[in-house]
Structure 1
């Protein structure tokens, strides 16, 4: 058979087209909430005595967390990825002030949180630019094919406000209400994988409950519902999410407590907007792990040290992995 001078080029083009078709047509990528992530961080709300406000005053808390997770496939940065690996180190400082309000029989205050991503490392296994269907041929034609992507980035992420913090104590039971507003303050480029913010605002209504028995057993639950605004750049509206974080613990004494923490998150509305071209997806995930806290006296203050590890047990259309927290909190 005679050798055709354009045969290798045509063969390579055919292979690229077949691979791109597999990535963009069958099966659909697992995306849900744009890029498979949202302002909710797995296990971030789960803590000891999360529904208890002990006294009025100025509170400072700092969380440093290491997160390593994988997602099988997603549509992100204008490309379809067959796999995403994300390793991040994040530091979050939260400042809050609580007033004792006898008229309401509890506490009332406000707060702010400043997250800073020390480093985010993301790699994509295989990628293809999103394809558009030709009006003449009726076929999906990819614009470009890549065999990987990613990088590193660090900096300010999305600042969040706690405009109202309210708490009540009823003997062994304690209740706290704290809506949170996330602002799009972090770096964002729709063509990059390594974004520091979501590029949209979110409202997260939270109610926390703590039962602390006289025998020092604790059960705490935080339930929240996150409503996302549309990403103005990509015209992608991520679905709303219900998340529940819980803690079951035993307080060995006034300073030491040991227990388990866990989370459950589920998307309740589909993705929408003109940018959600791959369809509507629902995400969910759950995880569990150990936790410990110890109070160290520093001067006339008690500094609470908190450590916890969340191991993902399962996830659909979202990241699955491990998150380790090292935190401290102090009241002034």
Structure 2
């Protein structure tokens, strides 16, 4: 089960304070596409470090119809390193293994829009998760949990770029993975999430709820795994300011992305690279996500 640490639960980074599209500032707490392979497979009891290198770039900001509508010379670039600390206990609850985890994103956000530019570097909104439940039924694995995004990143309502969202997000998670943990073969993973956001007290803006999914399908040639990965998000409720709906359709966002992934088992350390190209987006930026991930046991 060496590869299991490249999955399960969520990570966090901040996006730029672009114009108010698809949730406040056009951003969501979870960076879509963070997870791909072995999403639902918890490792054996122990303490682990997963390191996520992240790069997101976009020069397009879309409107309700998916057409480019951003300010002149718009671009956003986010570089992050997100250590994830996981402890899997020997406890069992309802037949499930019990784990806990925390994520501490260190990010740099650069935004250029309409001749203005701003860069911010520091710690973003962290995730805490005291209870992760994982089940195994032969070669099928399940995870149920809820991630809490804590508004620890710096935020100012007048900034072009921010490191945090200035509100809490509570995200129930259900994930499933099917693969052979003892040899080569196909693998399929799916991670379902739903976001509930509190109000930003500095702006009285409440970002709408959103349903989203990370997914991957691959073949493990042992030690090399290749496949495809992607994500889909659809906002389900309106954005609101002072209780009133924002815009004509509530600034509801939607995005779909797809791209390749590669994983190599370097001894006991799985190393994975994935790229997801956003094929369509409404009320959001449209760009590309790149990930480089590795897992280590203490």
**Range into which the TM-score falls when normalised by the shorter chain:** 0.7 to 0.9
What is the Cα deviation at residue 167 of structure 1? Answer: 0.2
Partner of 1:36: 26
Partner of 1:296: 266
The structure with the greater share of residues assigned to helix is: 1
Distance 1:66 1:311, change over 3 A: same
Distance 1:182 1:229, change over 3 A: same
What is the Cα deviation at residue 292 of structure 1? Answer: 1.1
Partner of 2:225: 257
Unaligned runs of 5+ in 2: 1-18, 64-68
Q: Deviations over 1:123-158 (max 9, x none)?
A: 113xxxxxxxxxxxxxxxxxxxxxx32311111100
The answer to whether structure 1 residue 205 and structure 2 residue 147 are counterparts is: no
Distance 1:331 1:272, change over 3 A: same
What is the Cα deviation at residue 243 of structure 1? Answer: 0.7
Partner of 2:276: 310
In structure 2, distance between residues paired with 1:123 and 1:103: 49
Distance 1:71 1:31, change over 3 A: farther
The answer to whether structure 1 residue 227 and structure 2 residue 191 are counterparts is: no
In structure 1, distance between residues paired with 2:94 and 2:137: 13
> Which protein shows a greater Rg?
1
CA contact (8 A) 1:30 1:316 kept: no
In structure 2, distance between residues paired with 1:223 and 1:277: 27
In structure 1, which of residues 65, 90, 113 is the aligned counterpart of residue 80 of structure 2? 90
Deviating beyond 4 angstroms after TM superposition, the runs of 4 or more aligned structure 1 residues are 275-278
Partner of 1:59: 48
In structure 1, distance between residues paired with 2:243 and 2:85: 36
The answer to whether structure 1 residue 163 and structure 2 residue 133 are counterparts is: no
CA contact (8 A) 1:292 1:306 kept: yes
CA contact (8 A) 1:236 1:276 kept: no
Aligned residues: 270
Distance 1:56 1:150, change over 3 A: same
SS in 1 for 2:25: helix
Deviates more, 1:81-90 or 1:307-316: 81-90
Distance 1:200 1:30, change over 3 A: closer
Distance 1:170 1:268, change over 3 A: same
The answer to whether structure 1 residue 281 and structure 2 residue 251 are counterparts is: yes
What is the Cα deviation at residue 252 of structure 1? Answer: 0.3
In structure 1, distance between residues paired with 2:112 and 2:244: 22
CA contact (8 A) 1:282 1:317 kept: yes
What is the Cα deviation at residue 178 of structure 1? Answer: 2.4
CA contact (8 A) 2:191 2:214 kept: yes
What is the Cα deviation at residue 88 of structure 1? Answer: 1.1
In structure 1, which of residues 188, 192, 210 is the aligned counterpart of residue 155 of structure 2? 188
Backbone CA RMSD of aligned residues = 2.0
CA contact (8 A) 2:51 2:293 kept: yes
In structure 2, which of residues 285, 290, 294 is the aligned counterpart of residue 319 of structure 1? 285
Distance 1:69 1:166, change over 3 A: same
TM-score, length-normalised on structure 1?
Answer: 0.77
Distance 1:294 1:308, change over 3 A: same
Distance 1:106 1:191, change over 3 A: same
The answer to whether structure 1 residue 116 and structure 2 residue 106 are counterparts is: yes
Q: Of the two structures, which has the highest relative contact order with CA contacts closer than 8 Å and spacing of 6 or more?
A: 2
Unaligned runs of 5+ in 1: 1-28, 75-79, 126-147
TM-score, length-normalised on structure 2?
Answer: 0.85
